[in-house]
């Protein structure tokens, strides 16, 4: 067995082969398209997955070291230890391969990986007899008509096997074929298909509302100064509702397919809006995020009435959105503290349950199922019936499912997005690179950077030190990490895990305890080297390092942050930022603030104040992030002079960091790609 190592200067991906055949697949290396020959299903792989497959196919039956793979996929970039595993997992998923019984990719312990399937650059027999090809190779999208007659036989055999080998009732599982609707460069997302008419709506590159037919021919485009989001077609008529994020508000717009304004809804103070749901031709269910919480409203077009819905929520549950389902009735999706989900009626009666978080859901009128994300959260779709039986629909290694819509013919239209999240240094070079959907970098004076990376809903804490990346946490759940901060002596880190507080040293987690707060944590950090604090908008708790509650202070404010470097509290109340040496109970009720306290405050503009988050303090300068018209801004406040400066702005800035030299690094989504796809059933 030959081994490929990092010292080999030849890149195996440099081969000029166009089509590779292996197992049941044909791979078009020029277009990154993988075809399952039996089902005729074609998937366009995301770039790194395709690159890894080319690497294997160019060197079959040879051991390829992890170092060579990492250098080939991420040249001159330090990546998380888990990044290679994630790309391998995606490739194995799309190849239907198993780590326990591999048919394609075999792990060679302590050495690397070996591609064990037979690889050919010519169509092997007996497939050559079934699928005639020319010398130049026909397109992978051309259907193998002589092979397709076997498909019903395969389905019947599979159904019979399932019937005789399971105690569960037989479920007729439809097969789906994936095809492109839009494939232009850039980002297409937030797709919605008209239930009956040949109309499709989606957002192009953040600010352009696009209307096309269901084959992808563009009929109308409406660019905007403001960010557009979440189009939704009327059920019977042909009106389209969508949102515009303007300043600190969400504007509801309703237009015709030709772009004429049919209705201007109210401007609603909000942080985020979900897809409008047409209850009927004159009423919509609007889901709006206000003060950190999604709230459902009934909106009537006839009189612009916005009525809060009295949705009955179980304890420790949060509302996620609405959808129309069986008998055209509106249902409401909930996520629960134990990371399960349910679908309920307005009365609170539960209709369905899932044992994992659901965040993407719609109704399939043909199959009478709820189509949602699966347990992977973003890579797969499943269908769930009213009797609680379910079956898989489709999984992708190309990117992440971000929206889905289904028309009355049962055709599914989905947006699949891919991107890189990069942390860049002062020279704009990537320090870390990942396909994770979040990042939270926090550097220290030693040149180390701790960060959180979240994949498939799982948040993990890592430490980058001396060009090595160490994973500090070992979690398998869905707990969200939103805060991460170094101890003043740089010996430890603190983070939240949902409502819990976790402590880490440089080897791993050393302690975890409950915050004992009533609401979600708005901020936490160090009060001193031996004391922690956490704040939920109503109460500040102080704890020792063992998690024992030391004291509580009632405080009604948007944010409380302790500046351990000058021993003062930064309190955000409305548009005022106060710098206080101590806190007292209910100090903002009545006239309890002294003239000195009032004088030692800064008034923020709405743009500086809106969605104030992600605080950093370096050298007596306060940095934070805000959002205005859904555009991210990073600000600097000199605490001595009280002068405020804008230091950066842009779209899709997840997080930022300030190092000891006050150099800014940004964790930003880059290399954005998104396409609209159609999933149709294979008869």
Q: Are strands 272-273 and 277-280 parallel, antiparallel or unpaired?
A: unpaired
Each residue's pLDDT tens digit, 217-272: 999 999 999 999 999 999 989 999 999 999 999 999 999 999 999 999 988 999 99
In the block, tokens 């459902």 appear at 296
126 preceded by a cis bond (ω within 30 of 0): yes
The token pair at 520 is 């979600």
The neighbouring-strand residues paired with 392 are 382
Each residue's pLDDT tens digit, 95-153: 988 887 899 999 988 788 999 999 988 765 544 443 443 333 434 444 444 333 343 33
Q: C-alpha angle 668/671/677, rounded to 5°?
A: 120
CA gap 175, 1 in Å, rounded: 39
What is the mean pLDDT of the segment spanning 60-67? 89
CA gap 167, 398 in Å, rounded: 35
The token pair at 487 is 């101890």
Does an H or E element contain 401, and which? strand 400-406
Each residue's pLDDT tens digit, 600-633: 899 999 999 999 999 999 989 999 999 999 999 9
Phi, psi of 184 (to 5 degrees): -70, 160
Each residue's pLDDT tens digit, 529-570: 999 999 999 999 999 999 999 999 999 999 999 999 899 999
DSSP code per residue over 597-621: HHHSEEEPPHHHHTT-EEEEEETTE
Does an H or E element contain 110, and which? none
Q: What is the pLDDT of residue 7?
A: 40
Provide the 8-state DSSP code for 168.
Answer: S
The token pair at 32 is 């990154």
What is the mean pLDDT of the segment spanning 359-366? 96
Question: 477: pLDDT confidence band, cut at 50, 70 and 90?
Answer: confident
3-state secondary structure of 181: coil
The neighbouring-strand residues paired with 626 are 633
Does an H or E element contain 487, and which? none
Q: Please give the share of the chain, as a percent, with pLDDT higher than 90.
A: 58
Give the sign of the dihedral formed by CA 591, CA 595, CA 601, CA 606: positive
* Prediction pTM value: 0.75
Each residue's pLDDT tens digit, 383-420: 999 999 999 999 887 678 999 999 999 999 999 987 77
Q: Are strands 63-65 and 3-4 parallel, antiparallel or unpaired?
A: parallel
What is the mean pLDDT of the segment spanning 444-456? 83
What is the mean pLDDT of the segment spanning 75-98? 75
The token pair at 225 is 């100064």
Three-state SS for 369-390 is EEEEECCCCCCEEEEEECCCCE
Helices 66-73 and 82-94, axial angle in degrees (round to 10): 90
Give the sign of the dihedral formed by CA 279, CA 282, CA 283, CA 286: positive
Name the average pLDDT for the chain: 85
3-state secondary structure of 291: coil
Residue 63 has pLDDT above 70, yes or no: yes
Task: Give yes or no for a contact between 18 and 28, defined as CB atoms under 8 angstroms apart.
Answer: yes
Burial tier of 71 (Cβ tally within 10 Å: 0-12, 13-18, 19+)? middle
Residue 157 has pLDDT above 50, yes or no: no
Does an H or E element contain 654, and which? strand 653-658
DSSP code per residue over 555-586: --SSEEEEETTTTEEEEEETTEEEEES---TT
CA gap 23, 118 in Å, rounded: 7
What is the mean pLDDT of the segment spanning 475-486? 87
- With a CB cutoff of 8 Å and minimum separation 6, the contacts of 260 are none
Q: What is the pLDDT of residue 4?
A: 47
Length reported for the chain: 683
The token pair at 14 is 């440099």
Nearest to 11 by CA among 76, 73, 91, 99: 73
The token pair at 178 is 């994936």
The token pair at 85 is 């595993």
CA gap 287, 319 in Å, rounded: 9
Higher pLDDT, 142 or 309: 309
């Amino acid at each position: 067995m030959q081994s490929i190592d990092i010292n080999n200067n030849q890149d195996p991906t440099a081969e000029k082969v166009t089509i590779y055949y292996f197992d049941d697949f044909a791979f078009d290396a020029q277009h990154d398209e993988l075809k399952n020959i039996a089902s005729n299903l074609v998937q366009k792989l995301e770039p790194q997955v395709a690159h890894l497959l080319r690497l294997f196919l160019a060197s079959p039956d040879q051991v390829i070291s992890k170092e060579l793979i990492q250098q080939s996929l991420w040249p001159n970039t330090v990546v998380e230890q888990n990044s290679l595993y994630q790309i391998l997992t995606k490739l194995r998923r799309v190849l239907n391969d198993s780590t326990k019984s591999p048919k394609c990719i075999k792990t060679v312990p302590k050495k690397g990986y070996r591609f064990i399937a037979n690889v050919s650059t010519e169509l092997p027999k007996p497939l050559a007899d079934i699928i005639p090809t020319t010398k130049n190779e026909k397109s992978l999208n051309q259907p193998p008509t002589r092979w397709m007659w076997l498909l019903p036989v395969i389905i019947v055999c599979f159904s019979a096997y399932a019937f005789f080998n399971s105690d569960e009732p037989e479920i007729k599982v439809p097969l789906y074929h994936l095809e492109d609707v839009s494939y232009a460069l850039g980002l297409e997302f937030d797709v919605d298909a008209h239930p009956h008419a040949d109309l499709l709506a989606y957002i192009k590159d953040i600010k352009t509302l696009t209307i096309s037919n269901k084959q992808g021919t563009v009929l109308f485009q409406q660019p905007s100064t403001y960010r557009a989001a979440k189009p939704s077609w009327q059920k019977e008529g042909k009106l389209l509702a969508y949102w515009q994020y303007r300043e600190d508000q969400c504007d509801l717009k309703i237009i015709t397919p030709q772009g004429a304004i049919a209705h201007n809804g109210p401007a609603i103070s909000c942080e985020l809006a979900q897809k409008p749901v047409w209850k009927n031709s004159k009423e919509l269910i609007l889901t709006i995020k206000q003060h950190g919480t999604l709230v459902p409203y009934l909106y009537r077009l006839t009189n612009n009435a916005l009525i809060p819905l009295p949705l009955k929520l179980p304890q420790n549950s949060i509302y996620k959105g609405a959808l129309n389902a069986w008998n055209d009735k509106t249902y409401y999706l909930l996520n629960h503290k134990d990371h399960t989900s349910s679908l309920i009626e307005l009365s609170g009666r539960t209709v369905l349950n899932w044992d994992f978080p659901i965040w993407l859901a719609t109704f399939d009128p043909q199959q009478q199922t709820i189509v949602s994300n699966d347990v992977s959260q973003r890579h797969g779709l499943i269908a769930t019936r009213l009797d609680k039986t379910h079956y898989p629909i489709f999984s992708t290694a190309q990117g992440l499912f971000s929206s889905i819509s289904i028309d009355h013919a049962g055709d599914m239209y989905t947006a699949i997005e891919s991107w890189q999240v990069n942390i860049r240094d002062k020279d704009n070079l990537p320090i870390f690179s990942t396909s994770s959907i979040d990042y939270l970098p926090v550097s220290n004076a030693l040149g180390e950077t701790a960060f959180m990376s979240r994949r498939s809903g799982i948040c993990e804490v890592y430490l980058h030190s001396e060009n090595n990346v160490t994973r500090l946490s070992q979690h398998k759940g869905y707990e969200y990490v939103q805060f991460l901060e170094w101890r003043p002596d740089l010996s430890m880190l603190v983070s939240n895990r949902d409502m819990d507080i976790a402590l880490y040293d440089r080897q791993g987690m050393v302690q975890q305890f409950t915050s004992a707060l009533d609401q979600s944590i708005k901020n936490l950090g160090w009060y001193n080297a031996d004391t922690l604090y956490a704040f939920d908008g109503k109460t500040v708790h102080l704890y020792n390092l063992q998690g024992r509650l030391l004291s509580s202070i009632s405080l009604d404010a948007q944010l409380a942050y302790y500046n351990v470097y000058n021993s003062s509290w930064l309190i955000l109340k409305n548009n005022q930022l106060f710098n206080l040496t101590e806190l007292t109970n209910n100090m903002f009720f009545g006239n309890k603030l002294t003239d000195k306290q009032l004088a030692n405050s800064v008034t923020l503009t709405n743009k500086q104040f809106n969605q104030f988050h992600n605080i950093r303090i370096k050298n007596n300068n306060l940095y934070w992030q805000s959002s205005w018209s859904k555009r991210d801004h990073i600000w600097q406040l000199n605490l001595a002079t009280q002068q405020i400066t804008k230091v950066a702005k842009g779209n899709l800035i997840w997080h930022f960091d300030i190092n000891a030299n006050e150099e800014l690094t940004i964790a930003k989504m880059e290399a954005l790609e998104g396409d609209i796809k159609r999933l149709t059933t294979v008869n």
